[in-house]
Amino acid sequence: MNTVYKERKIVSRLLAVVLSALLTVPLLSSCGGGSKNASAPAPVDDTVGRTVSDRQTQAKKGLGTGQKVALLAGAAGLYYLYNQHKNASQEGAQGKYYLSKNGRVYYRDAEHRAHWVTPPSQGIRVPESEAQQYRQFQGYNGSTSGRDLTGITSSAAPAL
């Protein structure tokens, strides 16, 4: 009868050691500290429920009646916003914009996270003389045909 208790004692001790080791794994793995050379954070997609409020578009709402305007939406509006902000010196939504390889426009915030930019859904009113360079893009005066922003490269765009 003593041997039965001895076998149970060995099995229960072995089971206790294995369970204790399994319980300490999460504790020990959380103490790693992380990498010192971490890459930039993942991009933030702000396209849901948010549009860009651009100072230039707000100023152009009061255009004179004698001046012809074009409505830039979609790719044309996005490329217009990119061209307005590509040489800015500050960070954030009113700062420098970048053109990604996949044809999207983004800016970086103070933590260097990428935020995708979308043009306002109602479009951007631009003087027709200034809007002529966007005629070939989708969204120029409501057109659904035309080219998108893929293939337009930006040499100053940092990696995402």
Q: What is residue 33's predicted lDDT score, i.e. its pLDDT?
A: 57
**pLDDT of the residue at 148:** 80
pTM greater than 0.75: no
pLDDT at 58: 45
Per-residue pLDDT, 59: 44
pLDDT for the residue 56: 46
- What residue has token string 């074009």? 70
- Measured between its terminal Cα atoms, the distance across the chain in Å is 69
Please report, in tens digits, the pLDDT of each residue of the chain (160 residues total).
Answer: 555 566 778 888 888 888 888 888 777 776 655 555 556 666 666 655 554 554 444 444 444 556 788 888 888 888 888 888 888 888 888 888 888 888 888 888 888 888 898 888 888 898 888 888 888 888 887 778 888 887 776 544 455 4
pLDDT of amino acid 6 = 66
Inter-residue contact 160 to 43 (CB < 8 Å): yes
pLDDT of residue 45: 67
Query: Distance between CA 131 and CA 140 in Å, rounded?
Result: 8
Strand runs labelled E in the chain: 69-72, 97-99, 105-108, 114-116, 124-127
Residues 6+ apart with CB under 8 A from 85: 94, 95, 96, 97, 107
Residues whose CB is less than 8 angstroms from the CB of residue 34 and which lie 6 or more positions away in sequence, other chains included: none
Cα gap 72→141, rounded to integer Å: 6
Q: Show the tokens assigned to 100.
A: 């990604």
Give the pLDDT of residue 103: 83
- What single-letter DSSP state applies at residue 44? B
Q: What is the pLDDT of residue 135?
A: 86
